[in-house]
Amino acid sequence: MTTEIQSLDQKPVFKSTKWFLSRQSNKKRNWKSLKQIISSEKSLPWNENIVHYSNINAPPSFKPPEKFSDLSGLVAPYTDPQSRLRYANKEEYTTIIDLPMDITAGYLALRGATSIVG
């Protein structure tokens, strides 16, 4: 009975002022990068059934990737058939029509698409 009363009187560790004051040191905290965490995980002896960063393999997505405008970065439902640049609205389309071929090739190169030959 006395142990129950003592356990009810004690505050949790995170509410203790001693704990709080001990954490207020001026030491700089060293954070580990993700690369360091993964390399330390790989060096540990893991069971084959345990899931962790280095053994998660995601299946390919069934959802098609979203296409974004080459000019504004908005979701682009349209593609110019002549220059193959993607655009989101008619204002962007009028801008695409007026672009010279070297700028168009630059936009396609930024996206990683093959440049047009014409």
DSSP, collapsed to helix, strand or coil, labels residue 46 as: coil
73: region left, alpha or beta (phi > 0 left; psi from -120 to 50 alpha): left
Confidence (pLDDT) at 79: 94
Question: What integer pLDDT is reported at residue 113 of this predicted model?
Answer: 83
Using 70 as the pLDDT threshold, list the residues of the chain that sit under it. 1-27, 29, 52-56, 58, 115-118
Q: What is residue 17's predicted lDDT score, i.e. its pLDDT?
A: 67
Conformational region of residue 26, where left means phi above 0, alpha means psi within -120 to 50, and beta covers everything else: alpha
Rounded to whole angstroms, the Cα distance separating 107 from 29 reads 43
Tell me which residue has tokens 């998660």: 56
Q: For the chain, give every domain's residue range.
A: 66-118
Whole-angstrom Cα distance, residue 83 to residue 66?
19
Residue-wise pLDDT tens digits, 53-83: 666 676 778 999 899 999 999 999 999 999 9
Predicted pLDDT at 54: 64
pTM beyond cutoff 0.95: no
